C-alpha cells in the first residue's frame, strides 16, 4: 500500500481574496481607520468600547482575508464567554455581528466562487429536531415565557453549530480549532490560577475571574472558590476538565515540540484551577476522563512511580478545607453515607431538587413540563420533602434529569439518539484517519471524545445552565466526520491507479 498522507490545499481563498485588489482595499481601510480614531476618541466615553470597535474591525478584515482565523476566533470567544464579559463591562455584543460576518463570507464564497460550505444538512437536521422538541412544549407549559427564552437561546447556539460545521474544511483547521480550545483554557485558567496564588479575589480581571467566599463543608471555615468568567465554580471546573484529556493527548502526540510546552502550560493551570474551584463533581469527572486516556495509553511503571511520589508530596500540602470537601463525596452516594445527607447544606439542596425532579418526571413522563419550567414547579413538588426551606426556585443539578422533567422521555430519547450518532460518526472518522496514515488525528479526536465524556459525566451533578460551552463542543464534533471524509477522498484521489487505501 502506498503511504501518501494528504496534503493541504495551497489556499482555500478565492482569487479575489488573494489579489492585489484586496491589498488596496486593506490599505484604504487602514487609512480610514486611522482617520476614524481621532473622531472615535471624542465619541466614546468608555475606552473598552473603542478597543472593541477597532479590534473588531481588525478581526473582520483578517477574517475576510482568511476565514480560518474567523473560525478560530469564534471557537475561542465562545469558550471564554468573551462577548458576555465585554457586555458586562458596558461594551456592545461582539458575538452577533461576528456571526453575521461569518455567514456573509460563507454566502459570498458560495454565490460568487461556487465554494460550497462543508456538508451541514445532517447536523442541522438533528439540531432542528431536538430544537422542535423544545418548541412543542409551548403547547402545554405553564410558563411560556420560560419556554420562549430557552428556545431562543437554543437556536442561537444552533446557529453557531451550523457555522462551525460549514467552515471546518481540512485536518489543519480541525487541529487548529482544537488548539483554539486549549488556548481558551490557558487564557481563563492562567488568570484564575494567578488570582488564587496572589489572593486577589477582589479583582475580577475585567470579569474573566470571578470568585466568592462560599461554604466549603459544614464545620469548616468558608473559603474563596474561583469561578472564572462564568461566576459559578462548579460550571467553570466542568468547562476546564473537558480540556484535560485533549491537553494530555497533545502533550503525548503533538508533532510541534513548541506546542507541547503550551500543552504543559494548559494542563498545569487548568488542573490548578479545577482544584481551586473545590468542585467535587469535577474531581470525579476528571478522574474518569483521565482514566480513559490512561487506558488508551497505559503509563510506564516509572511514570506511575513518579505520579504516586508527587501525590504523596502534594496531597499533604493541599488546603485542609479541600481535603475535607473531598471526604464528603461518599456521603452523596447511597449505601456509603455514614451521616444524614441533611447535615451538609449543598447535598441537602441537591437531594431536594433531584427528588422533586423525579416526582415531576413521574407525573409527566412522556413530554415533561416544558422548557425552563423545572424552576417554577420546584416548590410544588419539593415542599413536603422537608429538605429545603428556601422560598426560591431550584435547579435540577442534573442535565439528564433536567431533560426528563422538561421534555420527558421523548426529549431524552432524541437527545440520546443524537449523541449516539455523533459518537458513532466520530469513531468512524478516527478509523478513516488511521487508514490514511494520519494516526495523530485518531489520538486528537479520542482526546476530544474523552473530554466530552467528562463534560457529560459532570452533567450528572449539574444542569445545562451555560449551554454554549456544550454546543461549541458539539459543533466541533459534528465537523470531525466531514474533515475525515474529505481527507480520505483526497488521499484516494492522490493514489496511483490500482492502489487502494
Phi, psi for 75 (deg, rounded to 5): -65, -45
Contact 9/494 with Cβ under 8 angstroms?
A: no
Position 96 confidence tier, pLDDT thresholds 50, 70, 90 = confident
> CA torsion sign, 156 to 160 to 165 to 167?
positive
pLDDT at 344 over 80: no
Q: Which residues contact 403 (CB under 8 A, 6 or more apart)?
A: 368, 411, 412, 415
CA gap 187, 181 in Å, rounded: 10
Across-strand partners of 212?
A: 225
Q: Compare 363 and 108 and report the one with higher pLDDT.
A: 363
Tell me the CA distances in angstroms from 110 to 54, 305, 366, 396, one per residue in order: 28, 56, 42, 44
Q: Compare 278 and 171 and report the one with higher pLDDT.
A: 171
pLDDT at 35 over 80: no
pLDDT at 9 over 70: no
Specify the pLDDT at position 98. 84
pLDDT at 111 over 90: no
Specify the pLDDT at position 290. 93
- Mean pLDDT confidence for 226-231: 95
> CA torsion sign, 428 to 430 to 435 to 438?
positive
Position 274 confidence tier, pLDDT thresholds 50, 70, 90 = very high
pLDDT at 330 over 70: no
CA gap 87, 93 in Å, rounded: 6
pLDDT at 310 over 80: no
Specify the pLDDT at position 336. 47
- Mean pLDDT confidence for 156-177: 94
Specify the pLDDT at position 313. 73
Specify the pLDDT at position 32. 54
- Mean pLDDT confidence for 397-401: 94
Residue bearing cell 488525528: 441
pLDDT at 395 over 90: no
Specify the pLDDT at position 16. 47
pLDDT at 108 over 90: no
Position 11 confidence tier, pLDDT thresholds 50, 70, 90 = very low
Half-sphere exposure of 428 (CA within 13 A, CB side): 13
pLDDT at 3 over 70: no
Specify the pLDDT at position 61. 63
pLDDT at 10 over 90: no
Position 222 confidence tier, pLDDT thresholds 50, 70, 90 = confident
Specify the pLDDT at position 41. 44
Range among 18-32, 109-123, 311-325, 435-449 with highest mean pLDDT value: 435-449
- Look over the chain and give the mean of its residue pLDDT values, rounded to a whole number: 84
pLDDT at 130 over 70: yes
Range among 44-58, 112-126, 395-409 with highest mean pLDDT value: 395-409
Tell me, letter by letter, the H, E, C secondary structure of 149-209.
HHHHHHHHHHHHHHHHHHHCCCHHHHHHHHHHHHHHHHHHHHHHHHHHHHCCCCCCHHHCC
Q: Compare 40 and 313 and report the one with higher pLDDT.
A: 313
Query: What is the per-residue pLDDT across 456-467, written as a single tens digit (0 to 9) for each?
Result: 999 999 999 999
The closest of 489, 501, 487, 479 to 425, measured between CA atoms, is 479
Q: Compare 326 and 111 and report the one with higher pLDDT.
A: 111
Specify the pLDDT at position 466. 94
Tell me the CA distances in angstroms from 147 to 144, 344, 466, one per residue in order: 5, 33, 16
pLDDT at 340 over 70: no
Q: Which residues contact 199 (CB under 8 A, 6 or more apart)?
A: none
Could you tell me whether strands 210-214 and 223-228 are parallel, antiparallel, or unpaired per DSSP bridges?
A: antiparallel
- Mean pLDDT confidence for 238-262: 94
Prediction pTM value: 0.86
pLDDT at 107 over 50: yes
pLDDT at 8 over 60: no
- Length of the chain as a residue count: 501
Angle between helices 399-435 and 467-494 (to 10 degrees): 20
Specify the pLDDT at position 63. 64
pLDDT at 36 over 60: no
Contact 270/244 with Cβ under 8 angstroms?
A: yes
Give residue 131's Cα distance to chain centre: 19
Amino acid at each position: 500500500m502506498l503511504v501518501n498522507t494528504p496534503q493541504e490545499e495551497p489556499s482555500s481563498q478565492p482569487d479575489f481574496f488573494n489579489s492585489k485588489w484586496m491589498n488596496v482595499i486593506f490599505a484604504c481601510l487602514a487609512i480610514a481607520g486611522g482617520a476614524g480614531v481621532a473622531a472615535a476618541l471624542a465619541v466614546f466615553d468608555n475606552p473598552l468600547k473603542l478597543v472593541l470597535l477597532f479590534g473588531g474591525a481588525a478581526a473582520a478584515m483578517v477574517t475576510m482575508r482568511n476565514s480560518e482565523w474567523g473560525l478560530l476566533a469564534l471557537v475561542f470567544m465562545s469558550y471564554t464567554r468573551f462577548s458576555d464579559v465585554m457586555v458586562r463591562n458596558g461594551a456592545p455584543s461582539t458575538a452577533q455581528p461576528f456571526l453575521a460576518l461569518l455567514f456573509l463570507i460563507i454566502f459570498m464564497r458560495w454565490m460568487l466562487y461556487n465554494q460550497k460550505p462543508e456538508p451541514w444538512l445532517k447536523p442541522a437536521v438533528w439540531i432542528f429536531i431536538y430544537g422542535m422538541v423544545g418548541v412543542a412544549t409551548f403547547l402545554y407549559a405553564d410558563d411560556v415565557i420560560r419556554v420562549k427564552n430557552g428556545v431562543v437561546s437554543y437556536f442561537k447556539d444552533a446557529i453557531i453549530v451550523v457555522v462551525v460545521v460549514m467552515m471546518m474544511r481540512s485536518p489543519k483547521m480541525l487541529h487548529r480549532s482544537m488548539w483554539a480550545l486549549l488556548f481558551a483554557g490557558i487564557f481563563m485558567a492562567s488568570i484564575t490560577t494567578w488570582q488564587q496564588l496572589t489572593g486577589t479575589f477582589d479583582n475580577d480581571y475585567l470579569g474573566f475571574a470571578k470568585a466568592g467566599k462560599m461554604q466549603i463543608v459544614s464545620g469548616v471555615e468558608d473559603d474563596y472558590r474561583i469561578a472564572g468568567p462564568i461566576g459559578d465554580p462548579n460550571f467553570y471546573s466542568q468547562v476546564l476538565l473537558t480540556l484535560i484529556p485533549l491537553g494530555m493527548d497533545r502533550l503525548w502526540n503533538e508533532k510541534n515540540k513548541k506546542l507541547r510546552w503550551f500543552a504543559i502550560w494548559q494542563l498545569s493551570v487548568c488542573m490548578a484551577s479545577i482544584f481551586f474551584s473545590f468542585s467535587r463533581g469535577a474531581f470525579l469527572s476528571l478522574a474518569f476522563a483521565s482514566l480513559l486516556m490512561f487506558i488508551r495509553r497505559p503509563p510506564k511503571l516509572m511514570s506511575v512511580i513518579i505520579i504516586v511520589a508527587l501525590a504523596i508530596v502534594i496531597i499533604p500540602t493541599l488546603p485542609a478545607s479541600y481535603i475535607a470537601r473531598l471526604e464528603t463525596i461518599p456521603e452523596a452516594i447511597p449505601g456509603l453515607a455514614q451521616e444524614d445527607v441533611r447535615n451538609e447544606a449543598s447535598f441537602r439542596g441537591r437531594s431536594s431538587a433531584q427528588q422533586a425532579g423525579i416526582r415531576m418526571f413521574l407525573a409527566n413522563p412522556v413530554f415533561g413540563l416544558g422548557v425552563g419550567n423545572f424552576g417554577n414547579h420546584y416548590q410544588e413538588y419539593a415542599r413536603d420533602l422537608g429538605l429545603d426551606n428556601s422560598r426560591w426556585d431550584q435547579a435540577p443539578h442534573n442535565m439528564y434529569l433536567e431533560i426528563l422533567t422538561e421534555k420527558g422521555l421523548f426529549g431524552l430519547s432524541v437527545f440520546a439518539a443524537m449523541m449516539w450518532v455523533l459518537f458513532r460518526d466520530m469513531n468512524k472518522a478516527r478509523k478513516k484517519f488511521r487508514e490514511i496514515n494520519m494516526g495523530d488525528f485518531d489520538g486528537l479526536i479520542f482526546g476530544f471524545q474523552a473530554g466530552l465524556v467528562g463534560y457529560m459525566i459532570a452533567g450528572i451533578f449539574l444542569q445545562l445552565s451555560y449551554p454554549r460551552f456544550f454546543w461549541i463542543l458539539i459543533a466541533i464534533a459534528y465537523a470531525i466526520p466531514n474533515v475525515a471524509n474529505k481527507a480520505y477522498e483526497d488521499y484516494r484521489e492522490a493514489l496511483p491507479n490500482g492502489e487502494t487505501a
